[in-house]
Amino acid sequence: MSDTAGNVSHLEHHFSDVEQQRESAKLGVWLFLLTEILLFGGLFCFYSVYRAWNPDIFHNAHQYLNVYLGALNTIVLITSSVTMALAIRSMQLDRKRNTLILLGATLFLASMFLVIKYFEYSHKIHLGQLPGKYYTFTGVEGTNPHIFFSVYFLMTGLHGIHVMAGMGLIGWLMVKTQRNRFSSEYYTPIEMTGLYWHLVDLIWIFLFPLFYLIG
Amino acid sequence: MSSNSPHPHVLPLGIYLKIGMVLIVLTVVTVIAAQQDFGEFNLLIAMLIAGVKATLVALFFMHLKYDNKLYSILFLISLICLAVFISLILFDTMRRDDLNPIRGGHVNPTIEMYNNKEINPAETELSPATLPDSTKEAAKTTEH
């Protein structure tokens, strides 16, 4: 009860108590995640239809993706999800320093993901494995191999934009943590960013086998 | 009330580390499984492993196992909608020609897109010689 003053300063007047405020924020973020799933869902439909129509192209073209870079990126993103979850846990226990270190680690792993993605992208751009009419590569057997690279760049590109947005949010959280805006009583922004970050990880968990591991 | 439970869902450190390890092991497993040939089960196995990984992330990292069930229901609703979208679209695009061979087939499955060449109209149109018999019959009936 000694923290009552702390509670009140974070409680907006239109909520009856801190718990209700927290649950409302969480409901809002889950509704946002629902729309995110449907946004990527459209692209998963796109993927399903074109793979069903062109199974051979998908099989031939996916061999030009580097499975080991993809697997490394999966592990990087999973590890960043662990550090994000641990950052929330540290703030629940009022360990500000640990939270800062873990958020920093998450930010570092996210940038590592993008650096690996940059090497993958620049290699493909160099070879001319680009979407649509920009496709100039000649090594893939079959008609219209650019379809695979259109789907690949669209889905991993949108995912990459989500990673960048997440990095911005994590950087903002680090500034606010440094300024003592959070405590075990109020850490809602960290928790909500965590939910978003785990969704970004979750989407990559499906993108990885769908693009890199076509049997 | 928050004053009764200031630390609502503090899980032990071990749970996060164990789930993280399981996720990394499953990533390695899915890469190894993809190098084996299980025929038509390749996609199913890859998606099952991804599904298990996604479930672990949602239950433990996103705290769905410990939170209000409302969030799990919302999450499941979006996944069910997605499953309906994908399955209905695939039913349509893959089985449409069972009913109508002309509208079902690709306009010309061998046409090259974006090849920067002049398009020869004779190649892009369906010539009767390349059509399956059922399509020819359907074409005849539409002419009458």
The complex scores an ipTM of 0.89
Cα dist. B86→A41, A158, B132 in Å? 8, 19, 29
A57-71, A199-213, B94-108, B129-143: range with lowest mean pLDDT: B129-143
> Domain A37-212, what fold?
Four Helix Bundle (Hemerythrin (Met), subunit A) (1.20.120)
Domain definitions of chain B by residue range: 13-67, 101-143
Could you give phi then psi for residue B109, rounded to 5 degrees? -65, -20
DSSP label at residue B96: G
Tell me the two tokens of residue A188: 């809602």
Rounded to whole angstroms, the Cα distance separating B71 from B121 reads 55
Tell me the two tokens of residue B70: 């409302």
pLDDT of amino acid B39 = 82
Is-contact A1 B4, C-beta < 8 A? Answer: no
**Stretch B57-64: mean pLDDT:** 94
Alpha helices, DSSP H, located in A54-92: 55-62, 67-92
* Of residues A74, A198, A199, nearest to B27 (C-beta): A74
A13-22, A79-88, A201-210: range with lowest mean pLDDT: A13-22
Q: Please, which residues have CB within 8 angstroms of residue A208's CB and are 6 or more apart in sequence?
A: A70, A71, A73, A74, B27, B30, B50
Tell me the two tokens of residue B109: 């499955």
Q: What percent of chain A has pLDDT over 90?
A: 73
pLDDT digits (tens, 9 = 90+) for A62-117: 999 999 999 999 999 999 999 999 999 999 999 999 999 999 999 999 999 999 99
For the whole model, what pTM was predicted?
0.85
B residues 43-82 closer than 8 Å to A (CB): 43, 46-47, 49-50, 53-54, 57-58, 60-62, 67-68, 70-71, 74-75, 77-79, 81-82
Q: Is B4 on the interface with A (CB under 8 A)?
A: no
Is-contact A97 A89, C-beta < 8 A? Answer: no
More confidently predicted of B104 and A208: A208
pLDDT at A2 over 80: no
CB–CB contact B50 A208 (8 Å)? yes
Rounded to whole angstroms, the Cα distance separating A81 from A88 reads 11
